Amino acid sequence: MSHPSTAARTALVVVAHHRTDSLTAHTARRTAARLESAGYRVDLLDLQAEGFDPRMNAADQPDWGNREKPYSDEVQAHMRRVLDADLVVAVFPVYWQSVPALLKGWIDRVWNYGFAYGRSKPRLAGKRMLWLGLAGATSDDAIIEGMQSVLETNLNEGIAYYCGFAHSSVALLPDAEERPQRIDAEGNLLVGDAVAGAERDVQYAEFDRRAHQAVEEFLAAEPVAV
């Protein structure tokens, strides 16, 4: 279904993975294609391919006494891309129930004081955010519920709403590994056999379906234009 209000709007799709043949990168490409078909201009930001350095440095460290501090040219270019976006979709593998360092460092350096927060009217106010996190845990693993909750607290409350976003959702996509993993009662990591052939095709089709559904739900929750 197309959304007339989305004409000429921009979506920034941020992919945080070190391999272009990863399931994460594949999911980001599919997400970008879906957003384009919904009428968005897509800016695909592949942090690894663009050589983004996630380490904080002196030029980009906030100066609490000066919210107008001119950050590095690199960070200012990223800030413009965020400003140009009506919605931001981050696609990443869940690492330690959080975002990987590559994405964390992008937020640390770019979503900076005076830009993303620290003003009575944040410059990111009103934007919408989807966090699409791929998890190695299987969907029937009891760990998923707590993972969803910790990600929502961290990413929605701690970052997006703190920076004035109008809406932020976390879509957790379990079963991202071809070898199912779980921790048993004694704390041992149990790694199952790799799925293969038709079974693998079914697993990935189901994974794609859930990723697609998460993007559809996010788009459907879009506020109606006035």
**23 near ligand FMN (CB under 6 A):** yes
Using CA atoms, how far residue 19 sits from 15, 46, 99, 207, in Å, is 10, 10, 16, 19
Site for ligand FMN in 145-164 (CB under 6 A): none
In the complex, minimum distance from the CB of residue 99 to ligand FMN, in angstroms, rounded to a whole number: 11
Among the listed residues 10, 61, 76, 97, the single contact to ligand FMN using CB under 6 A:
97
In the complex, minimum distance from the CB of residue 145 to ligand FMN, in angstroms, rounded to a whole number: 12
In the complex, minimum distance from the CB of residue 147 to ligand FMN, in angstroms, rounded to a whole number: 6
Q: Which window, 4-12, 46-54, 87-95, 105-113, contacts ligand FMN (CB under 6 A)?
A: 87-95
**96 near ligand FMN (CB under 6 A):** yes
Name which of 106 and 115 has its Cβ closer to ligand FMN.
106
**47 near ligand FMN (CB under 6 A):** no
The CA distance from 27 to 93, in Å, is 11
Contact between 81 and 47 under an 8 Å Cβ cutoff? The reply is no
Name which of 14 and 82 has its Cβ closer to ligand FMN.
14
The pair of three-digit structure tokens given for residue 92, joined into one six-digit string: 């990443």
In the complex, minimum distance from the CB of residue 215 to ligand FMN, in angstroms, rounded to a whole number: 17
The CA distance from 194 to 180, in Å, is 7
**134 near ligand FMN (CB under 6 A):** yes
The CA distance from 59 to 68, in Å, is 13
Size of the site for ligand FMN (CB under 6 A): 15
**CA angle (28, 34, 35) in 5-degree steps:** 90
**22 near ligand FMN (CB under 6 A):** yes
**135 near ligand FMN (CB under 6 A):** yes
Measuring CA to CA, which residue among 122, 102, 198 is closest to residue 166? 122
The pair of three-digit structure tokens given for residue 160, joined into one six-digit string: 């997006």
Using CA atoms, how far residue 101 sits from 53, 55, 90, 109, 147, in Å, is 10, 9, 13, 12, 17
Contact between 30 and 207 under an 8 Å Cβ cutoff? The reply is no
Please report, as ranges, the residues that interact with ligand FMN according to CB under 6 A.
17, 22-24, 93-97, 134-137, 176-177
